[in-house]
Structure formats: C-alpha cells, structure tokens
Chain A
Amino acid sequence: MALKPGEKPITADTFLRGLWRENPVFVMLLGMCPVLAVTNSVINALAMGLATTFVLLCSSVMVSLLRRHIPKEVRIAAYIVIIATFVTVVDYLIQAISLEIYHALGAFIQLIVANCMILGRAESYASRHRLSKTLINSLGMGAGFTIALLCLGSVRELLGAGSLLGIPIFGPSFEPWVIMLLPPGGFFVLGAWLLLFAWIKERQMQRKTQPNPVQAGA
C-alpha cells in the first residue's frame, strides 16, 4: 500500500472505494457486457478481470501523464485511442500466453475497448488527478471489477457445471443446472447478487436510522 506519511490526499479509501462503495459492477453498473458474457467459469472470469485491470491501469496512467497536453475538445477520442492501443497489446499478450483462454473469451478481449468503466475512469478520475493517486484508484477499481467477475463466475460454474476451477465439487450424482451457463443464467445470477447487496444496504440503513430500539418504540 502506498500510504506514505508525507502524502495526505492518498488514503486507504482511494484504493478501497473501488472495492465496495463505488464498486464498478455492483454499485455503478458499468462494464456489464463482459461481466455477463464471460463469467461462465472461474478461470475465464479471472482472465477477463486481469486483462481489464491491466488495460485500466495502463490507460489511466497514460491519461494522467498526458492530462495537461490533451485538448479538451478531442479528449474522448484521445482516451479511446489510448485504450484501444493497450487493448491491442493485451489481445496479442493473451494469444501468446494461452490460446485456450483466448478462444474462450473470443471477441470480448477486443471489446474491452468498449468497456464504459475504463473510459469513465479516464474521464472522471485520471484526467483530474496526479499519477500516484490515479494509480492507486485504478488498482482499486480493477480489483473491484475482478472480484465482481469472480463472484459471478464462481456461482455460475458451481451451479452450472458442479465444479470450481475445473475441480468437481458436488460429486458425480450432481445434476448440473445447464441454464446457469447459458445467457439467462448470467442475468439471473447478477440480479441475485444485486438483490443481496441491496438487502445488506437496507439493513445497514435501518440500523442507522434506528440506533436505539427503545427510542424507536417510543
């Protein structure tokens, strides 16, 4: 963690807000397409999460470094070109590392370009903050995105194939819920996670508004 005593503005919150309070998937509903499309197994989810984090990190750093030189009128186009460059790098990188994962993710690697989370970060954060802060914030956001993908991927693989990371969990007598691996399963599982978080939030709110049961009763 980069929590140096001399630097006030960077706090643990700079990193942590991406994980929970501003989680790109569960709270801000950004970058939903890859979240739903490639999370039919844990390994795909992990690969996608890491690839997206890499692109997010590199492009935010680049945007943050160039923030004084990019004219305001063409900034979106400039950001998109920066992002597309790094996505091309990732595309070839994954192809070199594992051809199997490359085929499993298919067009969705190149579609990282169109992930609104990355453009959103560039526009709303990287272009306004200095390098160190941007770096930490992007790391947090990337981690939040990867965790969200893993949340979906593990549930879908567990129910849809009865395994986790390819290792059978439930034994041979388990009848897999194939629907979980198909498109509707993605919508349902994400909906269920959102319901869970909404429920947790509502309980927190209730506790905050009624700190004392005696008072609430009166």
Chain B
Amino acid sequence: MEADSLAYIFLNAAIINNFVLALFLGICPFLGVSGKLQTAFSMGLATAFVMLISSLSAWFINALLVLLDLEFLRLIAYIAIIASAVQLVEMTMKKFSPALYRALGIFLPLITTNCAILGLALFQTFNEYNLSQSLIYSLGAGGGFILAILLMAGLREKLELSDVPSISRGAAMSLMLAGILSLAFMGFAGLGGAN
C-alpha cells in the first residue's frame, strides 16, 4: 500500500499504530473508564467525536498560523481548540443524555487533557497531511481508540468475578491486560509492509 493513500492512513491510525496500544496516547481514560462495556463505548464515541472536530479545526488553524508565520503559537492554539470542542460535547451531552453525562462524570472534562487528541493534532501537522488525509487520520484514530477501550472493557468485565490474588486487583491487573493486548496488536505491524 502507498504510504500516503487514504486506506493506509486509516489502517495505520486504527490498527498498526493504534493510538492507545502502540503509541501510549490516551492511557488515562483507557484505564479509568474501561470498567463497564456500556460506559466505555460512550467514552470512546465522545472521544472520537472530539478527535474529529479538533482535528479539522486544528488543520485550519495550522494553515492560518503558517500563513501568518506564527508557528510557535501552535501548541497554545491547539489546546484552546480542544478545550472548546470538549466544552461543546459536554453541553450537547448534558442536554440530550443526562444519564450518560453523569456516568462519564469527571472523565468528560478530562477529555481535554487526553493526549490522544492533542497527539492527533500534532502528528497530522508533523506528517503534513492535507485536509482529506487529516479527516481520514482522525477517523482512524477515533476508531482505534473505540476498539482498544472496548476490548479492554470486555476483558475487565469477564475478569470482574474471577478469583485473582488480592494485590493484583485494580490498576496492576489492568496494566497487565493492556500489555497482553498491546502484544497482540504488535502482530499487525507486518501490515505496514516495507514502510
């Protein structure tokens, strides 16, 4: 596959270089909100949505900053965009689905400090993607995030009732699970071909 073809960019972001399991981005919600399948799915959707919005806005802002020769403001501009996008999602969710809003709790405003979203904006700038490539990249990253958090939540629900040593309950167990998942995702590295 061509390195800059849209299909490759999508697969690369979603599976080969999965944002959570290969690039270590967005670990906080990945560990924090993956206790239940339903909540995990909502969190994944909210994050993917914020990714889409912020990636598109970041592309336009970056074009503007390059035009004005103000690239050193990029980081501040990006984080401001992301914070506003999160605020937007929060208001929408509060209005249309208060139950979901309560279930996500503190993790909703914390999407702002989800490094997967800022990372997405930064990577698409580094890779000099054009608008359509950025769009596909953000869709792939969002899909990859949903996939990872769903897998994790499924595993943790299964393990909920099993008899593990008391010291490995909680975070330690989640990290070991994440390690095994990450090991499995390494198998996809070959998909990238000679690239």
Contacts and interface: CB of A to CB of B under 8 A. Distances in A.
Given A33-B24, A183-B21, A188-B179, A198 B31 contact: no
Contact of B123 (A77, A84, A107): A107
Contact of B113 (A114, A179, A195, A202): A114
Interface stretch (A4-12, A56-64, A85-93, A159-167): A85-93
A111 B122 CA distance: 9
B115 A80 contact: no
B112 to A, nearest CB: 7
B72 A76 contact: no
A114 B118 contact: yes
Chain A interface size band reads 35 or more
B91 interface: no
Interface in A30-45: 30, 32-34, 36-37
Interface in A81-122: 81, 84-85, 87-88, 91-92, 107, 110-111, 113-116, 119
Contact of B24 (A36, A113, A188): A36
Interface residues of B, number: 43
A14 B178 CA distance: 34
A91 B71 CA distance: 13
B173 to A, nearest CB: 8
Contacts of B83: 76-77, 80
B133 to A, nearest CB: 18
Interface string A112-156: 011110010000000000000000000000000000000000000
A77 B72 CA distance: 19
Interface string B164-180: 00111011110110111
B118 A33 contact: no
Interface of B is mostly: helix
Interface in B77-98: 79-80, 83
Contacts of B117: 114
A190 interface: yes
A49 to B, nearest CB: 16
A29 interface: yes
A99 to B, nearest CB: 16
A70 interface: no
Tell me which of B168, B176, B179 has the highest count of chain A C-beta atoms within 10 A of its own C-beta.
Answer: B179
Interface of A: 29-30, 32-34, 36-37, 76-77, 80-81, 84-85, 87-88, 91-92, 107, 110-111, 113-116, 119, 179, 182-188, 190-191, 194-195, 198-199, 202
12 contacts: A29-B31, A33-B27, A81-B79, A111-B118, A114-B117, A183-B23, A183-B186, A184-B182, A186-B179, A187-B175, A191-B178, A198-B170
